[in-house]
Amino acid sequence: MTLGLTHRFEPGDGSNPIPLLLLHGTGGDENDLVPLGQALAPGAALLSPRGPVLEHGMPRFFRRLAEGIFDPIEVRERTLALADFVEAGCRHYGLRAPIAVGFSNGANVAATMMVLRPGVLAGAILLRPMMVLDDRPGDLEDVPVLIVSGATDPIVPRDSVDNLASLLRSGGADVHHRWVSTGHGLVQQDVALASAWLRDRP
């Protein structure tokens, strides 16, 4: 059963009621973030799709025209299709709305999903995201969001991620933005920050 996208589902053991939606970065696949998800929320169900777009053979969730430049029409189409997958997957596997854990391109599509289809996600951990769409978000009142940015990230401009945080806050999201002393790649501090954020959620 693909539900429209190749994916991996880990049912969890019932000890953690909120599932995670795992969204990989460029070149990843449905297996990429499973160890991270298991580390962040032991026992939680994990739903992990593979991005349907290929860039030089590397899966992504939407195309880019150049580094940091996107086609907004294509971004919207791919984002809404992913939202449909998430809703269908939650029905199929009997899950409540998940918290997204996205890295890079996966973080970007999680953010655009929150803007374009509020209610699909119960929250999001966005690791190295950037501003992709400037659409006014729908109702994100009190939706929890953690953004973790790299202080020396050569890919994501500081003003881009600051603008993203402001955009999500304008829809009412409860955004916590943290910086770590690294570039675009993930480090152990990301895991520590995300784990603590999940534990502290009401």
Residues designated catalytic: 104, 153, 184
CB atoms within 10 A of CB 6: 14
| Dihedral class, residue 134 (left if φ above 0, else alpha if ψ from -120 to 50, else beta) | alpha
Q: Which residues of 59-94 are buried (b: 16+ CB within 10 A; e: fewer)?
A: bbbbebeeeeebeeeebbebbeebbebbeebbeeee
Phi and psi of 59, rounded to 5°?
-65, 140
What angle, rounded to 10 degrees, do the helices at 72-93 and 105-116 form?
Answer: 80
SS3 content of the chain, % helix, strand, coil (to 5): 35, 20, 45
